[in-house]
Amino acid sequence: MNAEEGSQNEATSHLDVGSFRTSAGQSRTPLLEQYPASRTAMETGIQEIWDRDIATVDNDLPSLHGRTHNKLPPVNKLPIEVLGRIFQIVRHCKPAGKIVSLLNSVSLEDQKPDLGWIVVSHVCRHWYLVASSFHALWTDIRFTLGKDWAMRMMERSGNMPIVFKQRCRNPGAYLRPSHDAIAQHVSHMQVLDLKAGSQTFNHLFPLLRCPSPILEKLELNYLRDTANPDDEATMDLPEDIFVISAPRLRQLVLHNFSPSWPSPIMDGLTHLEVRFSQARHSRFDGLDGVCPEYGALLNTLANLPNLETLVLVHVIPPDDDSEKHKVRLPQLRRLILHSRATRCDALLSLLEVPATVNAEIVCTSLEDSEEEFIPLISRLSDFSGGCNTNTKSPLKLVFAETGNRIFVETSDRRTEAIDMCDMVNSTPNIRFVCHRVPEHQFIVLDPIGIQIFEAVRGALNISRVRSLHLQLAEALPPWEWRLLDEQMPQLALLGVAGTSAATIAEVLPESSLSNAEHSNLRFPHLRKLGIRHTHFLRTRMHHTNLALWEALPVILGARQSSRPLMALELRDCTVRKDWVNMLEEVIRVDWDYDKGDFFGESESDSVGSEGDDLDVDVDSDDGDDVYVDVDVGVGVDADVGVGVGVGVGVDVDVDVDVDVDVGGRTDYSESVSYLEESDSDGPNFERYFL
């Protein structure tokens, strides 16, 4: 045995249980010589000592084993700073304090907060010591874990900047820990985020007059107690909180708090967000009493040249006769306005912002028409993707009309240009929502989607749009689709909903003269067509009165011969499986299948299937002709008489009398005849369509 092996054996010998017991026994041997040699003394005294020693060894072995085992993994050989940084990454991925629901929970009492990353401190003693002494881990104070954990976090954070968040669900709840305990940590508080009732804020505000030298974000959310008649819809924000010293305050977020305009706390802000809850009835602005005066609002904004985010929700006051001036916000990146359409339009006319700003405008109108929205839409031309700017053109445009509400989004991100989703997944460049508020809540006003869509197209540069998702209450006329073909020459993804699916289908096989010599199909770069929320039987072609399911295979078949589409996507449509099978003979179909209101089986699938209630009479003459009379009821009263000829070039006559009663409102009766050539590659619906 060489010296290196000897030293290794010596270093690991203490890990051997036998060696440990032997060395422990040898260390106790001299004690035995101190006792008399009589058998009685040996039995009564020494045996008890040995039993205690053996019990002590047995108790120490697990601890010894755990300590030695924890020192062997490579992760525990890392420096404490590195291991603490790893714990910080775990904290970011799995924050503590999130509420998780227990299995089959139905009430708030069945929910409990999750410890999240804190469980790493329970793995072993070494990790516990590292986590407990690493102050930066405990700076995000989570009150959902309870008062004890909140106090423990604040103690372990030391003097590190802390993030203090507490969201009370009950307006009458008290802060935990107490207001005084919170005030003691204001000096090293980086973020203060509170949602509570008036009682909590009335006790806390007097304690927030002390300096807060590192406070960067202040977010206050007032939760009104509707059971308390003394609670108002909003609270006034005291002018003296953090007025002594908050030099690093950059973000101020107020929910249902009415600040002074201007206020010392707003000096130097880069993020100003003031939100008031909407009045109970949308036709009335019940919060006009707390809105600032127009001149005061403009003066406040003029004193914030470094403002990057401005959010005003139900804050814009009604126009008055006061003298107004333009306000420049050269650093603004995000603008969010929620108010009446006329108020949003008036404020935008006074703001000078960069064209690259991401804008969200949600407006309402008491008018039945689109008159109040059109001037506001024209101002979109000054934002990102607008006709009056040199910014990037939008690659994706989403336009949806649902009831009295219209929703518009644009994006210039390339990832959105290849996405079929009917919304913008990233932060949109422009989000515009307009809502007409009728006199009575459940009245659906006449559609204005086509007029608004025309105004949006006129305000934006849509020449590079590659993805369009359009949902209108009325069918977009064919001539509008032809105009879109000229305005969106690079369109590759098109999603339509409702009756617009029929009008785009009529236009797809048409040719357009691109120049004097060549002609192309409409939308030459179109590769994927999506149809949503469409009833394939009720949606009928205008010039043929054929149902969409009958005409679409022919249309797509004609399209595939020159400018083929890659796929057809069907989502939330009322369509039968056999209709989809016909489409799949022409194009690849992506179908959600389990959505829609009505599903039928094809006749070929139904005949002879076990358990079907069918009356089948088969009369064969030399095997040439088979006549099948089928009476099928699948939510539709149908009497189908089918004559099928076996051979080449056989005439097939189909007489279909369909009586459909959906909610007692719609009746369809159709008699169709067509010629099918058996030597074709697929079903030929040419006469069917033409």
Domain-ending residue, one of 116, 138, 160:
138
Q: In sequence order, which residues have a C-beta less than 8 Å from that of residue 618 and are 6 or more positions away?
A: 626, 627, 628
pLDDT score for 45: 65
Position 652 in a domain: yes
DSSP secondary structure code for residue 279 in this structure:
P
Tens of pLDDT along 269-328? 999 999 988 655 555 555 656 788 899 999 999 999 999 999 999 999 888 777 888 999
Instruction: Give start and end residues of each alpha helix (H) in 179-338.
Output: 179-184, 198-204, 294-302
Q: Per the structure, how many domains does the chain have? A: 3
- Give the rounded percent of residues in the chain with a pLDDT score beyond 70: 68
Is the torsion defined by CA of 379, 381, 383, 389 positive or negative?
Answer: negative
More confident call, 259 vs 171: 259
Range of the domain at 679: 617-689
What's this model's pTM, rounded to 2 decimal places?
Answer: 0.71
Domain-ending residue, one of 49, 72, 95:
72
Name the nearest CA neighbour of 245 among 268, 272, 215, 205. Answer: 215
Paired strand residues for 657? 639
Tens of pLDDT along 229-254? 888 888 888 888 876 678 889 999 99
pLDDT score for 686: 34
AA letter at 431: R
Angle (nearest 5°) at CA 523 between 520 and 528 = 130
pLDDT score for 245: 74
* Cβ(578)–Cβ(600) below 8 Å: yes
DSSP secondary structure code for residue 386 in this structure:
B
Q: Same domain, yes or no, for 81 and 55?
A: no
Tens of pLDDT along 637-667? 333 333 333 333 333 343 433 333 333 333 3
Roughly how many angstroms between the first and final C-alpha of the chain, as a whole number? Answer: 99
pLDDT score for 649: 39
Mean pLDDT, range 186-193, rounded to an integer: 84
Q: Same domain, yes or no, for 107 and 60?
A: no
pLDDT score for 44: 60
* Cβ(567)–Cβ(545) below 8 Å: no
Q: How confident is the model at residue 616 (pLDDT cuts 50, 70, 90)?
A: very low
More confident call, 237 vs 103: 237
Q: How confident is the model at residue 383 (pLDDT cuts 50, 70, 90)?
A: very high
Q: Same domain, yes or no, for 636 and 679?
A: yes
Q: Same domain, yes or no, for 61 and 106?
A: no
Q: Same domain, yes or no, for 87 and 67?
A: no
Q: Same domain, yes or no, for 84 and 63?
A: no
Mean pLDDT, range 598-602, rounded to an integer: 41
Q: In this model, does residue 669 exceed pLDDT 50?
A: no
Domain-ending residue, one of 107, 138, 169:
138
β-pairing, 111-113 vs 99-101, is antiparallel
| Torsion angle defined by CA atoms of residues 654, 660, 665 and 670, in that order, rounded to the nearest 10 degrees | 0
Name the nearest CA neighbour of 470 among 500, 445, 492, 447. Answer: 500
Mean pLDDT, range 551-567, rounded to an integer: 84
Q: Same domain, yes or no, for 636 and 680?
A: yes
Which helix (H) or strand (E) is 444 found in, with range? none
Q: In this model, does residue 541 exceed pLDDT 60?
A: yes
**Burial 174-201, CB ≥16 within 10 A → b, else e:** ebbbebeebbebbebbbbbbbbbbbbbb
Mean pLDDT, range 82-98, rounded to an integer: 78
Distance between CA atoms of residues 373 and 375, nearest Å: 6
Coil, strand, or helix at residue 287?
Answer: coil
| Token pair belonging to 645 | 């000829």
Tens of pLDDT along 129-155? 887 877 777 777 777 666 777 777 777
| Token pair belonging to 175 | 């802060």
Tens of pLDDT along 466-502? 999 999 999 999 999 999 999 999 999 999 998 888 8
Distance between CA atoms of residues 626 and 39, nearest Å: 112
Position 102 in a domain: yes
Tens of pLDDT along 194-222? 888 888 888 888 888 878 888 899 999 99
Position 457 in a domain: no
pLDDT score for 648: 36
Position 556 in a domain: no
| Token pair belonging to 160 | 């590190």
Q: In this model, does residue 81 exceed pLDDT 70?
A: yes
Q: Same domain, yes or no, for 81 and 47?
A: no
More confident call, 35 vs 490: 490
pLDDT score for 60: 66
DSSP secondary structure code for residue 552 in this structure:
H
Q: Same domain, yes or no, for 41 and 67?
A: yes
Position 630 in a domain: yes
Position 436 in a domain: no
34-48, 98-112, 340-354, 426-440: range with highest mean pLDDT: 340-354
pLDDT score for 540: 83
More confident call, 107 vs 618: 107
Q: How confident is the model at residue 682 (pLDDT cuts 50, 70, 90)?
A: very low
Q: Same domain, yes or no, for 655 and 629?
A: yes
Which of 130-139, 378-387, 589-598 is the least confident region?
Answer: 589-598
Position 205 in a domain: no
Q: Same domain, yes or no, for 645 and 661?
A: yes
Position 91 in a domain: yes
pLDDT score for 189: 83
Q: Same domain, yes or no, for 61 and 82?
A: no
- Return the axis-axis angle of helices 47-71 and 17-32, rounded to nearest 10°: 150
Q: How confident is the model at residue 405 (pLDDT cuts 50, 70, 90)?
A: very high
Q: In this model, does residue 107 exceed pLDDT 80?
A: no
